[in-house]
Amino acid sequence: MRFKVRDRMKQPGNILFISTCFILTAAGILSAAEPVIIADDYVQPGAVLQILIPGGHLNNVSLSIENSRKESLSRNQGFLWTAASGESVSVVLLGIPSTITPGRYTLVMNADQGRAQWHLEKAVTVTEHLFPEQVINLDEKMNALYNDDSERKKSEARRLWAILTSFDKNAIFQTGLFTPPLDEGVPTAEFGDRRRYHRPDGSESSSVHFGLDLWSEPGTPVKAAGRGRVVLATERFLTGNTVIIEHLPGVYSLYYHMDSLEVREGEMVNQGVVIGSVGETGFATGAHLHWELRVGATPVNPSQFLSSPLLDTNRIMGRIE
């Protein structure tokens, strides 16, 4: 791991004054534990890295995963988690794209602390994971929806992106396990499916499936996978009746193609509360629920949090107590 601390004081004038301020500032920072990145060394595509950064109160924490060309492939901000003992640590939840190529990458963190700026790096290896392929034949109606270039579609896409990239450091509503949004949903498409669409004219296009498709009878109640704030509840062109719930800073679950909506925007909902019902609205080839999870706007596999907590508070407390 590499780190640097840089004094940001730009006071002009007496050189001795500047040097003295730097020494005092640096001494104040380094007298406490220095920040360090604590994260797993290996992660697979579609997973979420829970990254801890102990070492004092940090501000404006941001962390990304970069390739060898210094290109950021996923990014998120950090928030402060405080244990019952009063000890605090900065936490970043970083989604790993399902499309990332296996290999060695670098976690890059930047943060402010007093008058100094921290820059830390840590190596991480993304392991190989094979995703299934799926072929979907589009009829004329579905092909028209897929190729629609209307202003409504563009406007809805912009609003969705604005929601998924927003970050409220105080939005800590759900930390434990998710519960399934359907009591008896049958998986019909997996997260990360590589999709090929056969068009009526014989041409093809491709995409990656960002969520998990679950079949159930039309009208089956859809439940909130975790506690959170409803940030979107509306009918959309492609996704039909849609609900988005904010669970943690930068962490959102999405529910598409529903027949009805049972919640309103701004409402707080508890885990298991009915938010709608299974339907076939929007770009859907049959009745089902599309269940998706975004972390820092990156799609990740929602089913991983049916068996692992969204925020592993036991691990956090073990590191800071």
Which domains are seen in the chain, by residue range? Answer: 2-129 (2.60.40.1930), 133-306 (2.70.70.10)
C-beta of residue 293 within 8 angstroms of C-beta of residue 200: no
C-beta of residue 262 within 8 angstroms of C-beta of residue 276: yes
* pLDDT(15) > 60: no
**Which structure tokens are listed for 247?**
């669970």
DSSP string, 95-132: EPPTTPPSEEEEEEEEEEETTEEEEEEEEEEEPP-PPP
pLDDT of 110 reads: 97
pLDDT category at 318 given cuts 50, 70, 90 is confident
pLDDT of 244 reads: 98
Q: Which of 26-30, 64-68, 252-256 has the lowest mean pLDDT?
A: 26-30
Q: What digits encode the pLDDT tens for the residues 113-145?
A: 888 899 999 999 999 999 989 888 888 888 888
Residue 282: beta bridge partners?
Answer: none
Q: Which of 32-36, 161-165, 229-233, 291-295 has the lowest mean pLDDT?
A: 32-36
Angle at 138 between CA 211 and CA 158, to 5 degrees: 50
pLDDT of 277 reads: 98
Q: Which of 31-40, 75-84, 139-148 has the lowest mean pLDDT?
A: 31-40
Question: By percentage, how much of the chain surpasses pLDDT 90?
Answer: 72
* pLDDT(74) > 70: yes
* pLDDT(161) > 90: yes
pLDDT of 14 reads: 35
